[in-house]
């Protein structure tokens, strides 16, 4: 098990390093730089922009910039954000927890919902309910992230008025709530963005789960259990579901990057102050340090998600522990 | 055509609603502004974005403040703020400002002349890299003869010398920022929780979530009417405006044409058209994009540019894109600051355009209807940012209108930063741009004069430059107006660009708000005088200023 963890950590470190390098180089060869966005500003002279570039070290060769950047990152310094006017680490410190909250809520909800729906469909294979759920799941699976987010926003926040339009909290009353009121207010704001991400990913999980349950249900040990007179409920929960969860655990590793990708659009539409929204804004303004740092953090998060999936898989499948 | 009928009525209604705030208006209430972006900074010398300026303008007073309508020549368009009065030297080369002895920073420290001198040193220090440093080119020095007097010394007399200093220099507290090393200023904690001297003080700035200001109830010029102002950024434009329609926000500064009908029909909202400082244009590159030392193979020809201009039906283009939410542009200046609007424009006359092109040797010979000369087609490219739907639409309409006289326009759409970089590097044949000017006629220099930093099309006219200089340094308003008119006419006749549209901004606000007249460059300038009648207040207006579970 220790060997597995070390191998995976080594692979993750290599991947993050390569992605960081690629991002660093691509950003600098792309047209524009962090100060190009001010080209149309009537009060910013080209000399001022040149001063800013020199102060940021952008007038140095790319290789030198890269070595300096790596040295700073090794010391935990991601540099200043050019567009936000404060250190990148501070931006990340306020955005990453918000994204983690959103993703974890969506992850838990989508797995609970997806697994439940998948099992329900498999048990009632071929029924109208199975087909209806399959159709709805396919519908949500096919939806573009941003479009679904907009529709959810317009229906539940604007038309029905059940949820706030965006943000993480009520901007004018939050400080006046007690602790429970604040938690309730946060959950109220979390519902739509997390719900949207859940709809997007639960659909895929349900389809995988249905297929896995049907595969397991054909196994000899299931037939044996039934022949021995084990109740159908016990057959499903003990013999089928536990074994059918194995391939779905693999999905956990894949769901993490998918959710992170989805969060980019969902955070933008729901004005959720997280990392996805930060990354979109940073790319638009060529905020080199901020883009690179979000890529590093996203790479680490995806690697951790993948590692967790591997460990979970190994924990439930003894064959893997031995290899 | 719905808007054509609606807007004149709206204008009348807006003027009727825009009552000057009075000191008798009751205090209290909350204003929530829904916006598309967060602030970049809140410390005036570092601010580049509009949202930062909106917030800072309520936190900080200038020495004097512009009042609508904008008049930037002399000092008649200003009223006292930090300075209670000012005195001009006989030769107009210096102005002495007497500070209001009651003025103080939000931490209780009095505002003194050393703060103004310190702030000037911040703006002009290359290490700080303040965006507005170019505004102080005509300032020789700023001194403090005593603690309550600020003396500004100028290099030359200019009609706008008062404006250039007073509008662009926003004093910040020396006792807070003085100890901070200049090269560490942007990263210091002090700039994120700045202390001001204006009618509102900063309560909190949660990045990408909200900026909250609360009324300084003991302010030396009297407390502002509204208790608090909160900005809530939402990057998606649909979300931004939906907050207004859902009642979660009270003010949105710029409705899109597609949202106007809904806002008009919403009984909880009022829409307010107001002038802007923007204009959109098609600028030609008069130099070769590959080698700027050479003239452009086509567009360096003044007669060709004029012919192209005459092929464009600007009125139809503006109606197609904006309906009544834009005017046809009057030239390289917006109506809000133009010193003259009576210039003669090249007419829309396709037949004359064709004749001119014929006379220049450009003839239709192939089946595609595009003119050629010596086997070279009459074609050039235009770059457009994908982020701007109006500009993309304008490019398509221009393409069709030019095609009708035998000119091919090749549209190249690109991501916004790439577009800006191509513009800066002058790697384009023409581009569709939008310029937001400073609130002064001399703002025309930067994009259109020979030495202008943003003159990406390389228009170079000694006549235009001389006329602008004469206007800027004219001693009398009448002479200045004459020079400005001649300058505008010169550049319009040279046609280095086709000035297309001047958008009319339309704000929407909750009906319970009583607002003041908008200033073209700053709708927010009057917020301290906005109010909400007690009998129209809603839940968020009744939140007290003090009690909180912190």
Interacting residues of B539 by C-beta distance below 8 A, sequence separation 6+? A173
Query: Residue B377 is inside which H or E element, if any?
Result: strand B376-377
Residue B519 DSSP class? B
By C-alpha distance, the chain B residue nearest A273 is: B208
Q: Tell me the pLDDT of chain A (323 aa) as tens digits.
A: 778 788 888 888 898 899 999 999 999 988 888 888 777 776 777 788 888 888 888 889 999 999 999 999 989 899 988 888 788 999 999 999 999 999 999 999 999 999 999 999 998 999 999 999 999 988 988 888 899 999 999 999 999 999 999 999 999 999 999 999 999 999 999 999 999 999 988 988 998 899 999 999 888 988 898 898 888 888 888 888 888 888 787 777 778 788 888 888 899 999 999 998 899 889 888 899 999 999 999 888 888 888 888 888 777 776 665 55
Give the per-residue pLDDT at B398. Answer: 98
Q: pLDDT per residue over B343-378, tens digit each?
A: 999 999 999 999 999 999 999 987 889 999 999 999
Give the per-residue pLDDT at B187. Answer: 81
How many other β-carbons are positioned within 10 Å of the β-carbon of residue B416?
Answer: 17
CB contact under 8 A, B248 and A165: yes
Give the per-residue pLDDT at A48. Answer: 81
CB contact under 8 A, B232 and A40: no
CB contact under 8 A, A166 and B239: yes
Using DSSP's 3-state secondary structure scheme, residue B144 falls into: strand
Q: pLDDT per residue over B380-430, tens digit each?
A: 999 999 989 999 999 999 999 999 999 999 999 999 989 999 998 999 999
Question: pTM of the prediction?
Answer: 0.88
| Residue of B49, B417, B448 to mutate for A, most A C-beta atoms under 10 A | B417
Using DSSP's 3-state secondary structure scheme, residue B109 falls into: coil
Q: pLDDT per residue over B285-341, tens digit each?
A: 999 999 999 999 999 999 999 999 999 999 999 999 998 889 999 999 999 888 888
The answer to whether A168 and B232 have CB atoms below 8 angstroms apart is: no
CB-based contact, B258 to chain A, within 8 Å: no
Q: Which residues of B touch A83 (CB under 8 A)?
A: 40
Give the per-residue pLDDT at A305. Answer: 83
How many other β-carbons are positioned within 10 Å of the β-carbon of residue A161?
Answer: 12
Give the percent of chain B with pLDDT over 90.
77
B154's tokens: 């100028």
Assign B19 a pLDDT band (cuts: 50, 70, 90): very low
The answer to whether B532 and B541 have CB atoms below 8 angstroms apart is: yes
Q: Chain A closest CA to B239's CA: distance in Å? A: 6
Closest in A48, A164, A165 to B131, CB measured: A48
How many other β-carbons are positioned within 10 Å of the β-carbon of residue B365?
Answer: 14
Task: Tell me whether strands B497-503 and B30-35 are parallel, antiparallel or unpaired.
Answer: unpaired
Closest in A164, A167, A284 to B417, CB measured: A284
Which of these, B14, B458, B30, B375, lies nearest to B232 by C-alpha position?
B30
CB contact under 8 A, A171 and B183: no
Q: What is the mean pLDDT of residues B494-522?
A: 95
By C-alpha distance, the chain A residue nearest B136 is: A43
By C-alpha distance, the chain A residue nearest B131 is: A44
| pLDDT for B64 beyond 80 | yes
Q: Chain A closest CA to B89's CA: distance in Å? A: 28
CB contact under 8 A, B239 and A46: no
Q: Which residues of A touch B168 (CB under 8 A)?
A: 43
CB contact under 8 A, A165 and B243: yes
The whole-angstrom separation of Cα B121 and Cα B140 is: 12
CB contact under 8 A, A44 and B131: yes
The whole-angstrom separation of Cα B540 and Cα B550 is: 18
CB contact under 8 A, A167 and B131: no
Is the peptide bond between B69 and the residue preceding it cis, with omega within 30 degrees of 0?
yes
Residues 168-227 of chain B whose Cβ lies under 8 A from any Cβ of chain A = 168, 183, 186-187, 191-192, 206-210, 212
Interacting residues of B108 by C-beta distance below 8 A, sequence separation 6+? none
The whole-angstrom separation of Cα A263 and Cα A257 is: 10
SS (H, E, C) B387-398: CCHHHHHHHHHH
Give the per-residue pLDDT at B549. Answer: 43
CB contact under 8 A, A177 and B183: no
| pLDDT for B5 beyond 70 | no
Query: Residue B416 is inside which H or E element, if any?
Result: helix B416-424
CB contact under 8 A, A164 and B248: yes
Give the per-residue pLDDT at B347. Answer: 95
Distance from the Cα of residue A165 to its chain's centroid: 21
| pLDDT for B12 beyond 70 | no
Give the per-residue pLDDT at B545. Answer: 80
Assign B162 a pLDDT band (cuts: 50, 70, 90): very high
Q: Which residues of A touch B418 (CB under 8 A)?
A: 30-32
Residue written as tokens 């907009």? A150
ipTM: 0.85
Task: Tell me whether strands B376-377 and B228-233 are parallel, antiparallel or unpaired.
Answer: unpaired
The whole-angstrom separation of Cα B372 and Cα B370 is: 7
CB-based contact, B235 to chain A, within 8 Å: yes
Closest in A38, A51, A270 to B126, CB measured: A51
CB contact under 8 A, A51 and B208: no
The answer to whether A298 and A20 have CB atoms below 8 angstroms apart is: no
Give the per-residue pLDDT at B69. Answer: 84
Give the per-residue pLDDT at B15. Answer: 40
Interacting residues of A217 by C-beta distance below 8 A, sequence separation 6+? A122, A240
| pLDDT for B505 beyond 80 | yes
Closest in A39, A83, A161 to B420, CB measured: A39
| pLDDT for B250 beyond 70 | yes
Query: Residue B327 is inside which H or E element, if any?
Result: strand B326-328
CB contact under 8 A, B549 and A154: no
């Amino acid at each position: 098990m220790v060997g597995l963890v070390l191998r995976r950590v080594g692979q993750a470190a290599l991947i993050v390093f390569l992605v960081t390098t690629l991002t660093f180089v691509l950003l600098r060869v792309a047209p524009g730089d962090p100060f190009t966005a001010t080209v149309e500003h009537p009060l910013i002279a080209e000399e001022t922009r040149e001063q800013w570039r020199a102060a940021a070290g952008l007038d140095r060769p790319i290789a030198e910039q890269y070595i300096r950047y790596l040295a700073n990152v090794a010391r935990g310094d991601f540099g200043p954000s050019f567009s936000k006017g404060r250190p990148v680490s501070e931006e990340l410190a306020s955005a990453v927890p918000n994204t983690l909250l959103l993703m974890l809520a969506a992850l838990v909800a989508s797995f609970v919902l997806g697994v439940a729906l998948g099992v329900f469909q498999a048990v009632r294979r071929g029924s109208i309910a199975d087909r209806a759920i399959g159709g709805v799941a396919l519908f949500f699976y096919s939806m573009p992230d941003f479009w679904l987010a907009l529709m959810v926003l317009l229906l539940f926040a604007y038309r029905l008025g059940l949820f706030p339009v965006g943000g993480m909290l009520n901007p004018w009353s939050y400080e006046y709530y007690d602790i429970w009121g604040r938690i309730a207010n946060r959950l109220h704001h979390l519902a739509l963005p997390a719900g949207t991400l859940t709809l997007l990913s639960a659909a895929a999980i349900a389809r995988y789960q249905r297929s896995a349950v049907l595969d397991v249900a054909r196994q000899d040990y299931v037939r044996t259990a039934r022949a021995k007179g084990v109740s159908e409920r016990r057959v499903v929960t003990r013999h089928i579901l536990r074994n059918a969860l194995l391939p779905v655990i693999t999905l956990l590793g894949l769901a993490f990057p998918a959710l992170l990708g989805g969060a980019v659009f969902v955070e933008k539409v729901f004005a959720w102050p997280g990392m996805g929204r930060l990354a979109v804004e940073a790319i638009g303004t060529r905020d080199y340090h901020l883009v690179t740092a979000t890529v590093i953090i996203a790479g680490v998060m995806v690697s951790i998600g993948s590692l967790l999936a591997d460990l979970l898989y190994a924990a439930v499948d003894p064959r893997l522990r031995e290899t | 055509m719905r808007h054509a009928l609606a807007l004149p009525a709206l204008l009348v209604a807006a003027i009727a609603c825009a009552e000057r705030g009075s000191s008798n208006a009751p205090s209290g209430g909350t204003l929530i502004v829904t916006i598309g972006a967060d602030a970049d900074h809140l410390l005036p010398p570092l601010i580049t974005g509009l949202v930062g300026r909106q917030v800072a303008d309520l936190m900080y007073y200038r020495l004097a403040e512009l009042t609508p309508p904008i008049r930037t020549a002399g000092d008649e368009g200003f009223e006292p703020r930090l300075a209670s009065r000012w005195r001009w030297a006989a030769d107009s080369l210096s102005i002495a400002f007497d500070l209001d002895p009651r003025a103080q920073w939000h931490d209780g420290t009095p505002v003194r002349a050393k703060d103004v001198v310190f702030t000037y040193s911040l703006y002009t220090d290359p290490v700080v890299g303040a965006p507005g440093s170019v505004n102080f080119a005509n300032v020789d020095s700023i001194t403090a003869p005593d603690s309550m007097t600020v003396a500004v010394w100028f290099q030359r007399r200019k009609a706008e010398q008062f404006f250039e200093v007073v509008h662009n220099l926003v004093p910040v507290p020396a006792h807070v920022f003085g100890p901070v090393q200049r090269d560490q200023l942007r990263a210091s904690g002090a700039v994120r929780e700045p202390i001001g001297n204006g009618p509102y003080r900063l309560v909190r700035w949660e990045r990408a979530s909200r900026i909250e200001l609360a009324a300084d109830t003991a302010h030396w010029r009297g407390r502002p009417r509204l208790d608090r102002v909160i900005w809530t950024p939402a990057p998606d434009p649909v979300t931004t405006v939906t907050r207004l329609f859902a009642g979660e926000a009270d003010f949105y500064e710029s409705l899109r044409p597609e949202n106007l009908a809904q806002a008009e029909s919403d009984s909880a909202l009022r829409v307010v058209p107001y002038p802007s400082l923007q204009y959109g244009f098609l600028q030609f590159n008069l130099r070769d994009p590959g080698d700027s030392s050479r003239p452009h193979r086509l567009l360096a020809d003044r007669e060709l540019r004029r012919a192209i201009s005459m092929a464009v039906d600007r009125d139809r283009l503006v109606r197609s894109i904006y309906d009544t939410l834009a005017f046809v542009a009057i030239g390289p200046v917006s109506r809000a600051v133009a010193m003259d609007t009576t210039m003669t424009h090249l007419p829309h006359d396709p037949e004359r355009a064709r004749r001119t092109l014929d006379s220049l040797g450009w003839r239709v010979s192939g089946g595609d209807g595009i003119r050629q000369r010596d086997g070279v087609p009459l074609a050039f490219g235009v770059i457009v940012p994908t982020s701007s739907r109006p500009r993309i639409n304008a490019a398509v309409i221009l393409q069709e209108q030019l095609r009708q006289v035998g000119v091919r326009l090749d549209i190249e759409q690109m991501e916004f930063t790439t577009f800006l970089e191509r513009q800066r590097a002058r790697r384009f044949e023409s581009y569709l741009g939008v310029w937001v000017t400073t609130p002064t006629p001399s703002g025309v220099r930067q994009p259109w004069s020979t030495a202008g930093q943003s003159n990406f099309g390389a228009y170079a006219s000694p006549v235009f430059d001389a006329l602008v200089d004469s206007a800027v340094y004219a001693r009398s308003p009448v002479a200045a107006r004459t020079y400005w008119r001649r300058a505008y006419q010169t550049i319009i006749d040279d046609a280095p660009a086709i000035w297309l549209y001047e958008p009319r901004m339309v704000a929407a606000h909750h009906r319970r708000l009583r607002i003041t007249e908008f200033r073209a460059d700053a709708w927010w300038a009057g917020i301290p005088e906005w109010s909400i009648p007690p009998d129209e207040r809603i839940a968020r207006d009744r939140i007290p200023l003090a009690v909180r579970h912190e």
